[in-house]
Structures are given as structure tokens and as C-alpha cells.
Amino acid sequence: MPKTSSEPAVPGTRTTLHGPTMGTRWSASVDADASLDLAALRRDLAAAVQQIDEQMSPWKPDSDLMRLNRAPVDAWVELPAGILEVLACALDINRLSAGAFDPGVGALVDAWGFGAVRDTPDAEAIRSARQLAPRPAHECLELDRPAGRARKRAPLQLDLCGIAKGYAVDRMAAMLQQHGVQHALVALDGELRAVGGQASGAPWAVALEQPEAGRRAVHGVIELQDLAVATSGDYRRYLQVGDARLAHTMDARHAAPVNNAVASVTVLARTCMHADAWATALLVAGPGEGLGLAQRMGLEALFLLRRPQGLVEMGLGRFGASTVPGGIGASLNKSPRNTNAKA
């Protein structure tokens, strides 16, 4: 439980605040100022992520997302501004990515054993899910943001796990700025955002994980200043079915878990919500289509591809120098320092 008494910061020190949310943990590394009340900041950060979880969790039956999922087709559902903002971004990226990112994969997530319904794939549920949403989500969901409402125009089960954590990071960054914080790094799983740089003037250094199941190792280091980063991969959450390893990310176009040569994709963006969703889209799109999509959208992205000779880097933007095995992108340093591990 957060402290209720005033807990002023000691100037010139770094403080890390953290807490549980969304089945994982959030954290904020803050270069403290004397006027900063750490107890109030911790309380407000926890409240911000809790609100997003209550709105967008597919695991909470009473969340706003689940209310929308249960609503009949053509019935308007009143929704908070936060989830409408995330839905608008999700539908936009669904359209721009030609369906590589699709928030309408909720039934597929459940059917393949990654949701709240079951923990193993179910053949009959998979068949039913494939029939539920034959059209992309942006054609099935109508938003009326001025009126604070949305309605489904066709059967649709939404899942915002590919974007909600990024949005939560953005909300924590906004909360830090409301408290007057100018130097901080906020993180939730593989999504991070820097508020300014470090108080010393140096950028924040965060670790990019080596995409290996069952092992935590650093592949390189990315430096951030007023920038967000998100990584999507196939190596942390998966199901082992016989000899096959099924990644938790769904490819709505094939109604199945993503299955390509991409081990992970890392995207830099001004907001973590966009970085999160685009990292998912590029992971699903795969090495060929994904690279073309990233080029068209002007994204800064690093693909780590599995090849017979080992991992191969393929980068754009500040990662553009990473085009050979073991290569180093402009923002990727192979010598970690002051790193924050990414999931």
C-alpha cells in the first residue's frame, strides 16, 4: 500500500519506484529534485496504471473492454476517453498495416490458449474464432469520440494487449511531468519511455534482450532521450505443443499464432503506444513485408531474424547500420552500461 505521509526526495539522488500491474510490474527511475514528493508520485503512478488495467484488461470481466466485447452488434457502449484513444490508434494502425496489427484477435487469443478462457489450444474454438471476425477490426468497429462511445458493426472480440502497455507507459510519463519531473525512465515489460535524459545530461541506456527462451542476456544497448521504445518477440510467452512452439502474438490474417523468421522487433517512437503497436505489426508482418511496411511508414526499427548462421540484424532509421550478423546500429551499443533489462 502506498505511504500516505509526505516523502520528499533527496536532491541529486536516483530513486526507483515500482509496483504490480497487468500481470507484470511497472517501474520508474527518477533523478530526484528536492521538491518532489515521492509518496504522492508513487501513488499517482500506481493509480494511472490501475485505471488503464481496469479499462482495457481482457482478464477482468468488468473492464470497459469486456463490456464492449459483450455488447450486441450495433449497440452503442459508453466508454472512458482513455480506451477510446487507444482504440482509435489501434484501428488506425490496423488500417495502415493492412491487418498486420489487429485488435480484433480476442477470440483467437482465447482459442489458442493465451487468454483467460483456456491454457491450451482448442480445435473447435479455433474454428469458431476464424469465423467470428473475417474482416479487419477497423471495418467492424465505429468510434464516436466526441460522444464518448463505440459500437460494433459486426461480431468482434477485441484484445488490446498489443498496445495497452505502451499507452500505460505514456500515461506514467505524463504523470511524471505533472509532478514536475524532468529526468526519468519509465518501463512496463518491454515498453519504455524516457522523460528527458539523465540529470547528468547523458541519455538513458536501456538493454535490448537477446531473443532466447529461458535465458536473460543483453544483445545491445539503446540510448533514449525524450523517446520511447518497445520490443515484440516470440521468445517469452509461448506454448509448447509437441515439437511446435506457438508464439502468443496472433496473426489475424491467418487466424493463427505468428510463425516467421522474426525473433524480435524493436521500434523507436515519440509515444510508447505507437512504438508498442508498430512493434507488434512488424513482428506479424515478417522480414520481407515488415521491412517494406516500416520503410513506407518511416519507422525506426530493428529486426532480429533467425537464420541458419545465427541471428541477423536488419535495421532502419537510427538502427540503419545493423544489416549484418552482429552488426551495430547507430543507436545500438554492444557494451551495456546502466542498463534496464527489457522483456
Fill in the amino acid letter for 240.
Q
CB neighbour list of residue 144: distance below 8 Å, 6 or more residues apart: 76, 150, 151
Are the beta carbons of 195 and 169 closer than 8 angstroms?
no
Cell 513506407, residue located:
296
Strands 244-247 and 310-315, sheet pairing: unpaired
Q: Which of 340, 322, 323, 339 is nearest to 331 (CA)?
A: 322
Instruction: Give me the pLDDT at residue 210, please.
Output: 83
Query: Could you tell me where in the chain the CATH 1.10.3980.10 domains are found?
Result: 64-152
Instruction: Give me the pLDDT at residue 101, please.
Output: 97
Q: Which of 287, 59, 286 is nearest to 69 (CA)?
A: 59
Instruction: Give me the pLDDT at residue 225, please.
Output: 97
CATH code of the region 164-333: 3.10.520.10
Q: Report which secondary-structure segment, H or E, holds 275.
A: helix 272-297
Instruction: Give me the pLDDT at residue 332, please.
Output: 56
Q: What is the mean pLDDT of each run of 10 residues along the chain (343 residues)?
A: 41 87 93 90 97 96 97 98 98 97 94 85 88 84 98 95 97 97 94 96 93 79 96 77 74 90 94 98 95 96 91 91 39 41 35
Instruction: Give me the pLDDT at residue 333, please.
Output: 56
3-state SS assignment for residue 27 = strand
Are the beta carbons of 176 and 198 closer than 8 angstroms?
no
Domain 64-152 is classified in which CATH homologous superfamily?
ApbE-like superfamily (1.10.3980.10)
Query: Taking the mean position of all CA atoms in its chain, how far away is CA 39?
Result: 27
Give CA–CA dist 13/15, Å, rounded: 6
Are the beta carbons of 343 and 27 closer than 8 angstroms?
no
Query: Could you tell me where in the chain the CATH 3.10.520.10 domains are found?
Result: 164-333
The dihedral sign for the CA sequence 2, 228, 313, 283 = positive
CA dihedral 29, 31, 36, 37 (to 10 degrees): 30
* Rg of the chain in Å (alpha carbons): 20
Instruction: Give me the pLDDT at residue 133, please.
Output: 61
Instruction: Give me the pLDDT at residue 338, please.
Output: 34
**Which DSSP letter does residue 115 get?**
S
Sheet (strand 310-315) strand order: 14-21, 24-31, 184-188, 191-195, 228-233, 262-269, 300-307, 310-315
- What's the CA angle centered on 88, arms 159 and 274, to 5 degrees? 80
Q: Does the predicted TM-score (pTM) go above 0.85?
A: yes
Give CA–CA dist 108/261, Å, rounded: 21
Q: List, for residues 216-256, the tens digit of each pLDDT value.
A: 778 889 999 999 999 998 766 677 666 666 778 999 998 88
Instruction: Give me the pLDDT at residue 33, please.
Output: 81
